Amino acid sequence: MPKNTYSITTTLPYVNADPHIGFALEIVQADVLARWHRLKGEEVVFNTGTDEHGQKIQAAAEKADMDPKAYCDEYAAKFHGLKEALDLTYTNFIRTTDEHHVKAAQEFWKRCDAAGDIYKKQYQVKYCVGCELEKTDSELVDGKCPIHPKLEVELRDEENYFFRWSKYQAALLKHYGENPGFVMPESRLKEIRSFVEGGLMDFSISRLKEKMSWGVPVPGDEAHVMYVWFDALVNYISTLGWPASGDFEKFWPGVQVAGKDNLRQQSAMWQGMLLSAGLPLSKQIFIHGFITADGQKMSKSLGNVVNPYDLVQAYGTDPVRYYLLGSLPAYEDGDYSRKQFEEAYAAKLVNGIGNLAARTATMVEKYCDAKVPAAVPDRFNTEDFWKAYEASLDRYHFDEAIRVLERYVTGVNQAIDLEAPFKKAKLGEDVAPFMYQLAEALRHIGTALLPVIPAAASRILAQLSIDPADVRLPEAEAWGGLKTGAVVKKGEILFPRLEAKS
RNA sequence: CGCGGGGUAGAGCAGUUGGCAGCUCGGCGGGCCCAUAACCCGCAGGUCGCGGGUUCGAGUCCCGCCCCCGCAACCA
């Protein structure tokens, strides 16, 4: 019997820059899933937070003449502010400087050590400060990191601890082979599989404290702190209270949402670490693409970085959520432009969902005395709609799910035209049965939208005298949920036209 | 032999297991008047980057090729 819990996490953004629209995409995707599973009655842990250790943070704090922790506090607050701006429902906000996380990272280290997977090695390594990663010769171009060619690759001659990643190559490949959906979309699983097939090199997991002190102390060795990745990845379980039992067993393994730049860390490094510690691997990893702006990569120098707070301020939370989920391809890179955003807003939200909600409520008010008439059978293939919608969401195919919903909306609009109840009413014909179908269809639309655009969806349901807190899936997916006699009341316009602003 | 993504209607994009090429915006012409000048129907507009191959049938599978984008501090 499957447990009735669900756990999902984003990656933890590194706190050396303001929140990025790409991270907004990631966390909204995770939020939709968290809300969706809550509607299904599951107990949900939804984790996010900030990654705060490492050389870059230490350097940035020094430059700002701040204590690293104070520097991190500032940034953590910026990320935490997304909760309100994007209407997020995360339950955990972990910071890798949190005391219990630090303890967990140390315990994790001990487990890997006990498994014989941590060893000391004298070595000379080429290290890119920009990536916080060591580079192999094959990764360098002209002796430089291809991602940070302006930085000199540092040659480091030191004794560090290493993690025996190579030991887990076969186990990882076996896991990928036996779990075809382990990394979604499938193309990303292929990508990581071929990377692992190419061979794994043990990676360094510590830094000399005298060179870099802003990190988790290595247990039993005063001279070293942990490499930032090693400590940060442990957050996915430290947030569940690990190594204490209870919530950990209850909620792990969980789902991880990450950007394509994080494929290797999430689906190979972290999984190798879990194998070493003797813990179950993640349940599933969903990899989203990047967002470009007007066809170009966002960068500060180009001045085209889209800030999620600005977008929300200009258009509102729900329109931003709907755009991120519905207008960008979930599986690949997508392009943002103001024009495209506003077009989508007008077409989908104003003319589509908003207008249908308004005309439906008005007609029931006019023709049925603002009360839900007696129930009649479905005419919109609502069951098929739910099936398709659910299948898309379960595959993290958010844009597809929204297309499915929009097709349903179109179907309802077509039926209104076909039935022309406004004509029949004038002729004295009984339009009550059709009014029921309309209002009930609107209930399904509002219900399906609850995870996506929660505020607007709640207002749609409120028009039908439904309290969103009472909505449960799959019960609410059945046709006929609207109660005869329930009051229907047209509310404020859901999505105002943008022209109205200027 | 670097890695990855992509080339489908004027623009922006969908196209699961190969089976009549779709969606949004824009253009044109109708309908409707319940609705946020919204909604519905129809028309115009495509050699699905190019060349081969497999197949009864290829946007979709295979081989070869061309072109575009990201992999530059910051940055998902």
A264 Cβ contacts chain B strand, under 7 Å: no
The mean pLDDT of chain A is 90
| Residues 198-257 of chain A in contact with strand B via CB under 7 angstroms | none
Tell me which amino acid residue A453 is. I
**Cα separation of A421 and A417, whole Å?**
8
Could you say which DSSP state residue A472 is in?
-
Q: How many CA atoms lie within 13 A of A96 on its CB side?
A: 31
Nucleotide nearest to A147 (CA to C1'): B71
Cβ–Cβ < 8 Å for A26, A315: no
Angle between helices A398-419 and A317-326 (to 10 degrees): 110
**Cα separation of A214 and A221, whole Å?**
15
Task: State pLDDT tens for residues A293-322.
Answer: 887 788 777 778 888 999 999 999 999 999
**Cα separation of A29 and A342, whole Å?**
21
Cβ–Cβ < 8 Å for A126, A140: yes
What is the pLDDT, as a whole number, of residue A234? 95
Minimal CA–CA distance to A29: which of A206, A291, A245?
A291
**Cα separation of A488 and A122, whole Å?**
74
| Distance, C-alpha A340 to centroid of its chain | 22
Tell me which amino acid residue A282 is. S
> If 0-12 CB within 10 Å is exposed, 13-18 middle and 19+ buried, where does residue A150 land?
exposed
Minimal CA–CA distance to A460: which of A422, A471, A435?
A471
**Cα separation of A196 and A264, whole Å?**
9
**Cα separation of A487 and A121, whole Å?**
73
Nucleotide nearest to A400 (CA to C1'): B14
Tell me which amino acid residue A230 is. F
Spatial distance from the CA of A407 to the C1' of B53 (Å): 38
| Residues 53-72 of chain A in contact with strand B via CB under 7 angstroms | 56
Which positions of chain B lie under 7 Å from any protein Cβ? 2-6, 12-15, 23-25, 31-41, 69-76
pLDDT tens for chain A, 502 residues long, are 456 999 999 999 988 888 888 999 999 999 999 999 999 999 999 999 999 998 888 888 888 889 999 999 999 999 999 999 999 999 999 999 999 999 999 999 999 999 999 999 877 666 666 666 656 555 555 566 655 656 666 776 778 899 999 999 999 999 988 888 899 888 888 888 888 888 888 888 998 888 888 999 999 999 999 988 899 999 999 999 999 988 999 999 999 999 888 898 999 999 999 999 999 999 999 999 888 888 778 877 777 888 899 999 999 999 999 999 998 888 888 888 888 899 899 999 999 999 999 999 999 999 999 999 999 999 999 999 999 899 899 989 999 899 899 999 999 999 999 999 999 999 999 999 999 999 999 999 999 999 999 999 999 999 999 999 999 999 999 999 999 999 999 999 999 998 644 3
A465 Cβ contacts chain B strand, under 7 Å: no
Helix (H) or strand (E) holding A189: helix A186-197
A485: Cβ contacts below 8 Å, ≥ 6 apart: A371, A372
What is the pLDDT, as a whole number, of residue A160? 86
Nucleotide nearest to A347 (CA to C1'): B24
What is the pLDDT, as a whole number, of residue A337? 87
Task: State pLDDT tens for residues A109-127.
Answer: 999 999 999 999 877 666 6
Angle between helices A355-367 and A454-463 (to 10 degrees): 10
Cis peptide upstream of residue A185 (ω within 30 degrees of 0): yes
Q: Are strands A284-288 and A255-259 parallel, antiparallel or unpaired?
A: parallel
